[in-house]
Amino acid sequence: MPFEDTIAAIATPPGVGGIGIIRISGSQSEAIARLLYRSPKGSIPFQSHHLYHGRIISPATGLILDEVLITLMRKPHSYTGEDLLEIHGHGNPLILEAVLTEAIRAGARLAAPGEFTRRAFLNNRIDLTQAEALMGLMTARTGRGLEIAHAHLQGALHRQIETFRQSLIEILAGLETALDFSADEGEHPPPANAATQLQTVLDRIQELLVTYREGKMIRQGASAVIIGRPNVGKSSLLNRLLGENRAIVTAIPGTTRDLIEESIDIHGIAVRLTDTAGLRNPDTIIEKEGIDRVWEKLSAADLVIPVFDGSTPLTGEDQDLLEKTKQQNIIPVINKADLEHLLSDEALQGWLPQARPLRISAKTGAGIPALKEAIYRRLAGDQAEQTDGSVITLIRHKTALEKTIGHLMQVRESLANAMSYEFVAFDLREALDSLGEIVGVTTTEDVLDRIFSTFCIGK
Ligand SMILES: Nc1nc2c(ncn2[C@@H]2O[C@H](COP(=O)(O)OP(=O)(O)OP(=O)(O)O)[C@@H](O)[C@H]2O)c(=O)[nH]1
Ligand SMILES: [Mg+2]
C-alpha cells in the first residue's frame, strides 16, 4: 500500500549527543536528498544502502547546516518498506531542527509517533506482534524482558499464533468437506476428529494465555514493600537483597525514617523494593510522618514482606501489623535465624493460615535465595516457566486470546450437541478473527492508533 506523503522526524532523543539522526520515508526521499545534500565528489548515484559523506546546505540561503553521513535505503529493503533516507549529523538539537525544517520545506511532513513503524506494518515488513516487540525492546527493564522482545521481533509469537490459526482453518476445512459429502444424503455426518483437534488447539492457547501473568510482571515490573516493627532487620534485608549497603543499619530502633527505594532483577522481573520506617507508636512528628508514609505505600504494593525478629517472641506491634496486612499479598519473613529461635512458626500460624513464614538471616545471607524464589513465584505465578518460550506481555494479546477461547468453547459445545455446520463455522470464524487481531490481520484503525501512539516520534 503506497503512501502519498513523505514523512520526516528526528529519530535520536532530544538533547545534545555525539550523533543525531533524521529519518525521512516515502517516495520523495531521494528528491529531498538530492536537493539538500552536496557531495565533495560532485554528483553521486545514491546507491542503496551506501553511506555518503558530505554537507547539508540550505537551498534558500546557501548556508552549510551540517556535515553529515547520508544513506538512502531503497524500497522495499528498508525499515518502512519505502525509500528511506537517514541523515546522520551532529547531535545538536539546533542543527537537527534546521535540517528537519529544510526537509519539510522540500516536501516532507512531520511524522506522527510510531509512524515509521506503522508504515513498516502496513507495508507488510512486520506484523503487529513485531511492531509491539520493537516497543518492548525500547522499554524492557531487565535482560529477560529484552530476550522476550527479541524473540517476538524474530516472529516467535507470530509463528505461534499462525499455528493456531492454521489448525482452526484445518478444522473448518474438514467440516466443510464433511458437509459436501453429506449434501447428497441430506444429513450431517459426525464431525470425525474435529472435537479432539479442537481440544488440542484450545489447550495450547490456554498454555499461552497463562504466561501473561509472568509476562506482565516482566514488562512492567512490580513493587514490594518491606515492613516490620523497629530493629527487626528491614534495612539489613534490603541491603542483602541489593547486595550493597544502601540503607543505614544500626542497633538503635527507629533508624530508618523515610522510604528507601531501589530496584533488583529477580529472574527477569524488575522489583522495586521499598525499605520503610519501623512501625510502632511514634515518638516524634518525624517518625509519625515516616510511619504514615508506610501505610500509604502499602495500598499500592504488589507484594508486602512483613519481617519479624526470630530472636524474640511475637510482640503486640507484630500482631498489630499482621492484623493490618491481612488482606495483602504477603510473604512473611522471620529474620535473625543465626540467633536462638524464640519465635516459632506456630506463633504466627494463627495469623497466617495460608502463608508459611520463611526463615532468613539478613546478617549471614541464609535463606535469601529461597526468599527471592518465593518473591518471583508470588509475582509471576506458580506456572511461570522461566524459559524463553513464548510469553505474552500485553493486555491486548491476553484479551484477544480470552476472546478466542470463548469462541472455541462455543464451538466445542456445538460439536458436542451435534449442532449444524453453520453454528460451528460461525464461532470458528469468530475465533480466527480474534487470533487475527493479535498479529494484525483483523485489526481496526482505532487499535492501530492506540498501539502506535505509544511509540516515540522517529520510530
Ligand atoms: N544477628 C542478626 N542481627 C541482625 C540481622 N539482621 C539485622 N540485624 C541487626 O539488627 C539491628 C537492626 O537492623 P536494621 O536493619 O537497622 O533494622 P530495621 O528493621 O531496619 O530497623 P529500623 O530502621 O529501626 O526500623 C542491627 O544491629 C542489625 O545488625 C540478622 O539476620 N542477624
Ligand atoms: Mg531500617
pLDDT tens figures, 91-113: 999 999 999 999 999 999 999 99
Within this chain, do residues 252 and 314 fall inside the same structural domain, yes or no? yes
The pLDDT assigned to 69 comes to: 98
Number of the ligand closest to the Cα of 255: 1
| Residue 127 belongs to a domain | no
| Residue 97 belongs to a domain | yes
Question: Which ligand 1 atom is at minimum distance from the Cα of 307?
Answer: 19
| Residue 336 belongs to a domain | yes
Mean pLDDT score, 164-191? 74
Number of structural domains in the chain: 3
| Residue 118 belongs to a domain | yes
CB 118 within 8 Å of CB 447: no
pLDDT tens figures, 280-332: 999 999 999 999 999 999 999 999 999 999 999 999 999 999 999 988 999 99
> Is the pLDDT at 389 greater than 70, yes or no?
no
Q: Cβ contacts of residue 211 below 8 Å, gap of 6+?
A: 383, 384, 385, 389, 390, 391, 392
* CATH at residue 199: 1.20.120.430
Rounded-to-integer distance, Cα 358 and Cα 367, Å: 7
| Residue 459 belongs to a domain | no
Three-state DSSP at 187 gives coil
Shortest CA distance to 97 belongs to which of 14, 159, 5, 7?
14
Domain ends where: 65, 100, 122? 122
Rounded-to-integer distance, Cα 244 and Cα 238, Å: 9
Neighbours of 271 (CB within 10 A): 24
CB 399 within 8 Å of CB 209: no
| Residue 426 belongs to a domain | yes
Within this chain, do residues 245 and 367 fall inside the same structural domain, yes or no? yes
Which residue is listed with cell 537483597?
Answer: 241
The CA 255 to ligand 1 mean position distance, Å, reads 10
Tell me which of 227, 236, 242, 360 to substitute to probe ligand 1's pocket, judged by most ligand atoms within 8 Å of the beta carbon: 236
Closest residue by CA, ligand 1 atom 32: 336
| Residue 145 belongs to a domain | no
Q: By mean pLDDT, which of 70-74, 183-187, 352-356, 416-420 is the weakest?
A: 183-187
Q: By mean pLDDT, which of 105-109, 290-294, 348-352, 415-419 is the weakest?
A: 348-352
Q: By mean pLDDT, which of 16-30, 381-395, 415-429 is the weakest?
A: 381-395
Within this chain, do residues 259 and 308 fall inside the same structural domain, yes or no? yes
Rounded-to-integer distance, Cα 310 and Cα 337, Å: 6
Which residue is listed with cell 559523506?
Answer: 53
Closest residue by CA, ligand 1 atom 27: 251
| Residue 138 belongs to a domain | no
CB 178 within 8 Å of CB 191: yes
Mean pLDDT score, 25-54? 95
Pocket of ligand 1 contains residue 349 by CB under 6 Å: no
> Is the pLDDT at 190 greater than 60, yes or no?
no
How many helices and strands, by DSSP H and E, does the chain display? Answer: 16, 13
Within this chain, do residues 20 and 111 fall inside the same structural domain, yes or no? yes
Tell me which of 225, 226, 231 to substitute to probe ligand 1's pocket, judged by most ligand atoms within 8 Å of the beta carbon: 231
Tell me which of 227, 229, 249 to substitute to probe ligand 1's pocket, judged by most ligand atoms within 8 Å of the beta carbon: 249
Question: Which ligand 1 atom is at minimum distance from the Cα of 337?
Answer: 31
Rounded-to-integer distance, Cα 384 and Cα 374, Å: 12
The CA 458 to ligand 1 mean position distance, Å, reads 50
The CA 217 to ligand 1 mean position distance, Å, reads 30
The CA 369 to ligand 2 mean position distance, Å, reads 21
Mean pLDDT of the chain: 92
Pocket of ligand 1 contains residue 246 by CB under 6 Å: no
Within this chain, do residues 67 and 181 fall inside the same structural domain, yes or no? no
What percentage of the chain reaches a pLDDT higher than 70?
95
Rounded-to-integer distance, Cα 22 and Cα 102, Å: 11
Closest residue by CA, ligand 1 atom 10: 233
Q: Cα separations (Å) of 59 from 41, 64, 65, 89, 133?
A: 19, 10, 10, 18, 39
pLDDT tens figures, 222-275: 999 999 999 999 999 999 999 999 999 999 999 999 999 999 999 999 999 999
Distance of CA 436 to the CA centre of its chain: 20
Which sign, positive or negative, has the C-alpha torsion 447, 452, 453, 454? positive
Within this chain, do residues 92 and 235 fall inside the same structural domain, yes or no? no
The pLDDT assigned to 434 comes to: 95
Pocket of ligand 1 contains residue 235 by CB under 6 Å: yes
Q: Cβ contacts of residue 49 below 8 Å, gap of 6+?
A: 71, 72, 73, 74, 77
Neighbours of 225 (CB within 10 A): 26
Within this chain, do residues 228 and 103 fall inside the same structural domain, yes or no? no
Within this chain, do residues 312 and 435 fall inside the same structural domain, yes or no? no
Q: What is the DSSP letter of 90?
A: E
Three-state DSSP at 19 gives strand
Question: Which ligand 1 atom is at minimum distance from the Cα of 228?
Answer: 19
Round to the nearest angstrom and report the end-to-end CA distance of the chain. 19
Within this chain, do residues 201 and 55 fall inside the same structural domain, yes or no? no
Domain that holds residue 84: 7-122
Number of the ligand closest to the Cα of 234: 1
Which residue is listed with cell 515488513?
Answer: 125
Within this chain, do residues 190 and 233 fall inside the same structural domain, yes or no? no
The pLDDT assigned to 98 comes to: 97
DSSP 320-348: HHHHHTTTS-B--EEE-TTS---S-HHHH
Which set of grid coordinates corresponds to residue 422? Answer: 453453520
Shortest CA distance to 142 belongs to which of 393, 410, 413?
393
Neighbours of 197 (CB within 10 A): 16
Q: By mean pLDDT, which of 121-130, 164-173, 199-208, 412-421 is the weakest?
A: 412-421
* CATH at residue 50: 3.30.1360.120
Alpha-carbon Rg for the chain in angstroms? 30
* CATH at residue 301: 3.40.50.300
Reported confidence tier of residue 86, pLDDT bands at 50, 70, 90: very high
Within this chain, do residues 279 and 231 fall inside the same structural domain, yes or no? yes
Within this chain, do residues 226 and 375 fall inside the same structural domain, yes or no? yes
The CA 276 to ligand 2 mean position distance, Å, reads 7
